[in-house]
Structure 1
Amino acid sequence: MKGYVDKALCVGCGMCAASCPEGFRLGDDGVAEGYQELPAESIEDAQQVAGDCPVGAITIVSAK
């Protein structure tokens, strides 16, 4: 599983990076990004982050 951030929607609040740093970070452009496959123990946190994103910019997808 991997977090995907819609950069057109993201406002760069940093909530995802603070709550689930194993899967999200703020890029140099100030916008969040899902940067690696989520460890199994972080999937629940990432799903919570996706639901809590204030602009709905995050989805969790299967990494293939």
Structure 2
Amino acid sequence: MKIVLDRPRCEGHGLCEEAAPQLVHLDDDGELVLDREEISDTDVPLANAAVRVCPVAALRLT
């Protein structure tokens, strides 16, 4: 499974970082960075939480 970022859509709210700090973070410029695209089975709940809390639907799982 992969987590995919629609960068133009991301507004840098940081809710996904709060939900899944092991998977994503905001850099010093407020841009979202995926720490890894491939999601292990154990990280699926975190990835789902990050996708769910994004107010602009900039994240999705494939």
The match for 1:32 is: 32
Matches within 5 A, 1:14-33: 14-33=14-33
Which protein has the bigger helix share?
2
Alpha carbon RMSD of aligned pairs, Å?
Answer: 1.6
**TM-score, normalised relative to structure 2:** 0.76
- Matched length: 61
**For structure 2, which runs of at least 5 residues remain unmatched after alignment?**
none
**TM-score, normalised relative to structure 1:** 0.74
Query: CA shift at 1:17, angstroms?
Result: 0.9
The match for 1:41 is: 42
Measure, in 2, the Cα distance between the counterparts of 1:2 and 1:23: 11
